[in-house]
Amino acid sequence: MRPERIPQLAPRERILDAAEELFFNEGISRVTVDAIAAKAKSTKMTVYRHFDSKDALVLEWLRLLVDKYSEVFEALSTQYVGDPKAQILGFATFIAHDLSVASYRGCPFTNSLAEIPEPESPARRLIEEHKKRQFLRLVDLCVKADLPEPNEAAMELIYLMEGAQVVSQNKSIEGVGENLMKMVRKKIAG
């Protein structure tokens, strides 16, 4: 089959792909709807046909990211049935993997929070709810792993992972992913 006959992604998917790349690499505020349309090989009118506003597009992008993180937890619970420590390590590995990428810009959720100051913003609320669910999942895994003081253990794990993302972004310490994994292993061994 000739390459030109391979069907392209639907316009909405191209727009989301373009927005994902641009928002992640350049930030929400710096990216215009015109830039998204150009990257998606589309028009501004098409972007607005699929998304009422840039804010609606940001919200959908964040929903997709939240879904990705949920899928990671679900896959780990299936892969490591009955092994909460392996599930915790698997999630830390997921976080650590991104830290080694040279173009790593930090946690997309944290970066987005910095750009969305309005406390009642649907995007901000989505991120906050996602982070709370992530913490509660880790608390549950710490309980199932019989870690002492599971709530505190989950807090420490969150601090380690979130902190590693910031340190990797500011490049103040080398080997952040490897160090994160050592610390997580030590925490869950206890």
Task: State residue 102's pLDDT score.
Answer: 57
Q: What is the pLDDT along the chain (190 residues), one digit of tens a residue?
A: 333 433 477 889 999 999 999 999 899 999 999 999 999 999 999 999 999 999 999 999 999 999 999 999 999 999 999 999 999 999 999 999 888 775 678 888 988 999 998 999 999 999 999 999 999 999 999 999 999 999 999 999 999 999 999 888 888 888 999 999 999 999 999 6
End-to-end CA distance of the chain: 57
- Dist CA 65 CA 68 (whole Å): 5
DSSP at 190: -
- Dist CA 187 CA 190 (whole Å): 6
Task: State residue 171's pLDDT score.
Answer: 81
- Show the DSSP H helices in the chain as ranges: 11-26, 33-39, 44-50, 54-79, 84-99, 108-115, 122-144, 150-170, 176-189
Task: State residue 4's pLDDT score.
Answer: 45
Closest CA to 88 of 18, 29, 158: 158
Please list, in sequence order, all residues whose beta carbon lies within 8 angstroms of the beta carbon of residue 82, skipping any fewer than 6 positions away.
none
CA 189 to centroid of chain Cα atoms: 26
For tokens 């373009």, the residue is: 18
Closest CA to 25 of 99, 83, 108, 134: 108
Task: State residue 172's pLDDT score.
Answer: 85
* Residue 167, token pair as written in the block: 């340190």
Question: Is the distance from CB of 26 to CB of 112 less than 8 angstroms?
Answer: no
CA 15 to centroid of chain Cα atoms: 19
Task: State residue 182's pLDDT score.
Answer: 97
Task: State residue 7's pLDDT score.
Answer: 46
Please list, in sequence order, all residues whose beta carbon lies within 8 angstroms of the beta carbon of residue 51, skipping any fewer than 6 positions away.
15, 57, 60
Angle at 114 between CA 170 and CA 177, to 5 degrees: 35
